[in-house]
C-alpha cells in the first residue's frame, strides 16, 4: 500500500483520515482541495486539474483525500487501495454542517486562504451543503461499484467512525527514519 485514495462524500472525514493514514504509514499526504482551488474560490480548469493530478499521481507513494469526477480515472489507474467512507447521510451531513459553521464563526481559512461565509455556505448554488445533498447517492454508488468489481483497486468500505478506527488500528506504524518513512 503505497498509493491510497480516501474517497467519500463532502463532510465524511476524508481529509482527516487521509492525513492520519499518511502519517501512520510514512506516506506523503496531499490535500486535493489545496491543489485544485485557487484564492477567491477559483477552481483550476479541468485540463489544469488533470495535469496537476497526473503529475502528483506519477509518484511512487501518496495518500490523497478525494478523486473529483473529472479526473478520478487517473487516480483509479494508480491507486493500490481505495478507502471509502460510506457513512450514513445524517453523519456526514452533520459533520459538514458543524465544520462549516465553525469555520464561519472562527474565520478559519480553508484551501489556499479561502474562507467559508454564510453566503457561500447557505445561500449559494455552489454551497458545499447543497453539493453534499446532490452528490451523496452518486458517490455512494461509485464506492460500492468499486468494491464489488475486480476491475478496480482493492476497496475497503467503512460505514461508521468505529469501523474507521478499527481499520486504522490495523495499519502498521512506520518508525521515523525507516525506509517507508522516507518514501
Q: Could you give all domains of the chain from N- to C-terminal order, each with its CATH number?
A: 3-88+138-177 (3.40.50.300)
* Mean pLDDT in residue range 68-83: 95
pLDDT of residue 175: 72
Task: Please check whether residue 132 is in contact with residue 11, taking contact to mean a CB–CB distance below 8 angstroms.
Answer: yes
User: At 179, is the pLDDT very low, low, confident or very high (cuts 50, 70, 90)?
Assistant: low
Distance CA 119, CA 127 (A): 8
pLDDT tens digits, one per residue of 115-125: 999 998 888 88
DSSP characters over the chain: --EEEEEESTTSSHHHHHHHHHHHHT--EE-HHHHHEETTTEEPPHHHHHHHHHHHHTSS-EEES---TTTHHHHHHH-SEEEEE---HHHHHHHHHHHHHHHHHHT-B-GGG-B--HIIIIISTT-HHHHHHHHHHHHHHHHHHHHH-TTS-EEEEE-SHHHHHHHHHTSPPPPTTSTGGG-
φ and ψ of 163, to 5 deg: -65, -40
**Which residues is 136 bridged to in the sheet?**
none
Handedness of CA 69, 4, 55, 32 (dihedral sign): positive
What is the model's pTM? 0.92
Look-up: residue for cell 487521509? 18
Q: Which residues contact 125 (CB under 8 A, 6 or more apart)?
A: none
178: pLDDT confidence band, cut at 50, 70 and 90? low
Supply the pLDDT for residue 183: 47
Amino acid at each position: 500500500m503505497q498509493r491510497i485514495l480516501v474517497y467519500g462524500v463532502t463532510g465524511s472525514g476524508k481529509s482527516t483520515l487521509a492525513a492520519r493514514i499518511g502519517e501512520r504509514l510514512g506516506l506523503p499526504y496531499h490535500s486535493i482541495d489545496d491543489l485544485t482551488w485557487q484564492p477567491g474560490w477559483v477552481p483550476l480548469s479541468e485540463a489544469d486539474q488533470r495535469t496537476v493530478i497526473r503529475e502528483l499521481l506519477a509518484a511512487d507513494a501518496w495518500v490523497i483525500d478525494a478523486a473529483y469526477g473529472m479526473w478520478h480515472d487517473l487516480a483509479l489507474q494508480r491507486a493500490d487501495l481505495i478507502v471509502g467512507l460510506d457513512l450514513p447521510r445524517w453523519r456526514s451531513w452533520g459533520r459538514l454542517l458543524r465544520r462549516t459553521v465553525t469555520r464561519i464563526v472562527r474565520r478559519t481559512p480553508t484551501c489556499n486562504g479561502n474562507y467559508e461565509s454564510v453566503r457561500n455556505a447557505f445561500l449559494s448554488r455552489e454551497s458545499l451543503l447543497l453539493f453534499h445533498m446532490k452528490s451523496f447517492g452518486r458517490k455512494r454508488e461509485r464506492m460500492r461499484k468499486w468494491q464489488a468489481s475486480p476491475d478496480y483497486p482493492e476497496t475497503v468500505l467503512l460505514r461508521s467512525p468505529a469501523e474507521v478506527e478499527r481499520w486504522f488500528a490495523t495499519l502498521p506504524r512506520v518508525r521515523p527514519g525507516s525506509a517507508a518513512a522516507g518514501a
